[in-house]
Copies of this chain bind each other. A is one copy, B any other.
């Protein structure tokens, strides 16, 4: 009975775009028969559709005489309205096609700042050339946030260090660059003397680290590295950004293991020394969902690979 009120079943056939298309044709031709020809339908159904539309609206759109139809004042107004609706619908289709094909749209890109200082600018430049219609939103996120945002569809792609296998479920990683792990120390520090340093040389140092809360995998990596020597590194401080970590080392408060890319940020304030024997390098690249990647995202991935090839 509620249904009966809300929807009188057979009575009320809702207005459709077809009615508007037909109406516009008839209004423009001022003649049902010509409009029917233009629409590739025959005249009687067209007459009926117009009548249905008028009933649905409860408004007479045409004045009818035996020989002609002519718009009423209301019909003239509705002609403008109908044209606007049809145009809006057409624009909607065009827009979604453009988005789908990657001509327009936006993507959200997460990035780990200190790891991507060399990679990100090149990538953005190439992407801008390949997909000028896409607006890029950059998000400086921690690894944790990247993973969560990628899964929640808040992020389309992340420029970051390769996550461990366990964290990768449903995501794909594409390597762009490898960075050796280095010791970063104050220029006056003993480590800064030779060209190379072994883990044993620094096993007793105070370590400056990235914060465990934001970068748990950094701590795992550190622990795993020294476990081979049967040692546990002494983590004296934790920092949540590279800038403050660099400042702490420059102040002589300890040393740190960092990717060689950090050299771009330290300048001459710190010395970076390679480790010998060299541990596994850090893999930096793109992370993204392995299904449902939009055209824009795919273009971004391709641009990143092209920009960092060689």
Contact = CB atoms under 8 A, between A and B. Distances in A.
A265 interface: no
Contacts of A99: 59, 73-74, 77-78
A77 B58 contact: no
A82 interface: yes
A72 interface: yes
Contacts of A15: 17, 89, 93
Interface in A63-109: 63, 70, 72-74, 77-78, 81-82, 84-85, 88-89, 91-93, 95-97, 99-100, 105
Interface string A175-207: 000000000000000000000000000000000
A16 interface: yes
Contacts of A85: 85, 88-89, 92
A235 interface: no
Interface stretch (A212-220, A256-264, A289-297): A289-297
Given A77-B99, A81-B92, A85-B85, 11 more contacts: A7-B40, A17-B17, A57-B96, A57-B97, A58-B97, A58-B100, A59-B97, A72-B292, A74-B105, A74-B294, A82-B92
27 contacts: A6-B40, A15-B93, A16-B16, A16-B18, A20-B89, A57-B97, A57-B100, A58-B97, A58-B100, A59-B97, A59-B99, A59-B100, A60-B100, A63-B291, A73-B99, A73-B105, A74-B100, A77-B105, A78-B95, A78-B99, A81-B91, A84-B88, A85-B85, A85-B88, A85-B89, A85-B92, A88-B88
